[in-house]
Structure 1
Amino acid sequence: MDMEGNKRVFQRLSGGPSTASDSRHHPQQQQQQKVCFHWRAGKCTRHPCPFLHRELPAPAQPLSNGGAPKRFAEDSGSQFLRRGPKFTGGSNTWGRVHGSNAVAKKTEKLCNYWVQGNCTYGDKCRYLHSWSLGDCFDMLTQLEGHQKVVTGIAFPSGSGNLYTGSKDETLRVWDCQSGQCAGVINLGGEIGCMISEGPWVFVGLPNLVKAYNTQSNADLSLNGPVGQVYAMVVGNGLLFAGIQDGSILAWKFNAATNGFEPAASLSGHTLGVVSLVVGANRLYSGSMDNSIRVWNLETLQCMQILTDHTSVVMSVLCWDQFLLSCSLDKTIKVGLGCLR
């Protein structure tokens, strides 16, 4: 067997000497000395790639009259355009991930292993480890002024102002163009919740609901609650408020007097009602008594009591035919049958 001939072939491919032991311990050495044609096209995505990301050195040329090799005398500019840049000083590492601090270029494809909870690449994985992608939102400004927890925010239709309520007992009005505070109303009690419906802003206070019309500047007080008003919602032409004593009060708007009149009081919860939602002609209420009650919006009668949670029901949501609820018991319950 012509071992010397094999050596010459291997030297021409690798640019270095070879031994029989090299071939025995590295059976894929011949394959790894090939240039990656994807890299030549500028679109290799394999990390690491088993092929070279550099051009192979040219075969050795005999010197003429002691001068430089003929290849060295070629025009470097035309060579760059024809074959791409040549790199010296070892293998090119462009397009590969080396070292503990390297971060792979991310694609927009979700990592299936991350979804299953067993991706071992961590931050070095080139696929997404996130359910969201994009940078559509940027921080514009921070509205500062409240001295305690902000408990409500509302943006009534037809208004250029934003309304915020806080446990510091104030309602603040913000100009949406300048971001500046346009007014402060001291309400004399902690604001437990706040919603808007059309031009109206409703503010839940201890023993009271305040109603402000941002178009007519009407300022109304809705009496009846006993204790803090924790939650409010509008449905079937009624304003509902969840109260600290476990009741749900309802008011109906009277266009003739341009005011709100008491319509009903829904009783059944034994502790404060902290969440309300309307859906599929039903009112759903979550309470500190760990239960959810389902009310018919037409008759205002309780239709069903759900007692699956073991702690306060903080929020309820009606989506299609499903009822979702979250609780301080660290669970989210999904119920079927919203439309029945």
Structure 2
Amino acid sequence: MQNQDLPRGMNDKPGLIPRQVMPENLETPINNILSWITPTEMYYARNHLPYPTIQMQSWALGLGGEVEKPFSFTYEDLKKMPSVSKFVTTECSGNKRAFMEPPVPGEQWRIGAVGNVKWTGVPLTYLLDQAKLKGSAVELIFTGSDSGIRPDMDTPVNYERSLPLDRTLLAECILGLKMNGEPIPHKHGFPLRLIVPGWYGMAHVKWVTRITASSIPFKGPFQAIDYVYITNEGDYHDAVPVTEMKVNSIITWPSKGEKVHLGQHTVRGLAWAGKGTINKVEVSLDNGMTWNSAQLTSSEHEQYTWTLWEYLWDITAPGHYSLLARAFDSYGNVQPKAAPWNAKGYGNNSIHQIKLMVPQILH
């Protein structure tokens, strides 16, 4: 079992937690998030390259490649188009990387590279229907305005990712203009961010400036080198792309170092999945020997969003306790005791564990 506790004192630091300075990567202090919606200022930030400078006077979204009618849309154009709002939980695929055994390189995210917010924007298919994709198109490439030098390359690159031409998938995607009802903050992708419900965060390209319909599979470095499951670093022979989020859950209270005494306590947590919804969460107080059903407490129960859960813990005896939580989704998936190890530390959805000592009360 992997030790997945948070460090002592986390609850005393409500600000975002730095994981890397340049480019900036910030983790949500998830133990302090008690609401179903993550406040915008508490949403985690994942960057591969420096923040771009956006000149709105000249900014436009280009849509071209294998299309019948190439287009260019200004920000004002996009704001006038039909829009939809979706609540979407997004998790960095490196979330829980700090708990991989043996350790792997990369940003050492613990449990807070995840959040649930309301995105409002233009349905991707609305733009595609206007551009009319050619039969030769096989993928859509999304190019962000952020650019820089990768450690493994000598020339600057933009952050780019592609999606397959899967109509069901694309029908869920939106080009986000607002986050929690307000224009997306610059750090989270203003003026335009791709939202791919159910997929890990690397697919949600920020600062989108161009969409290209391609007739050949995309092989950019942020897709062919990064964000693939591989067993040995540098060996891409059997690489599998990182795509949909796995069923996952965390315990948000108590955390490591919490002072817990005899009596009744409410264990709290969060659970989420990719395509499916969470239909059950179980809690163990004895390191997995027995399991008890938790109560799903979210009044909202929507696809692509996380679920809040609680469990009433009546502590009748002092001692050492090992709390575990595991989630089940509507497709029958359940969190494993330990997720399959991979050289880049992606997709760690292993069962969350909190170890506590309940002291004897002296009279």
> Which TM-score band applies after superposition, normalised by the shorter structure?
under 0.3
Question: Considering only CA atoms, is the larger Rg found in Structure 1 or Structure 2?
Answer: 1
TM-score by length of 1: 0.19
- Which structure is richer in relative contact order (CA contacts within 8 A, separation 6 or more)? 2
TM-score by length of 2: 0.18
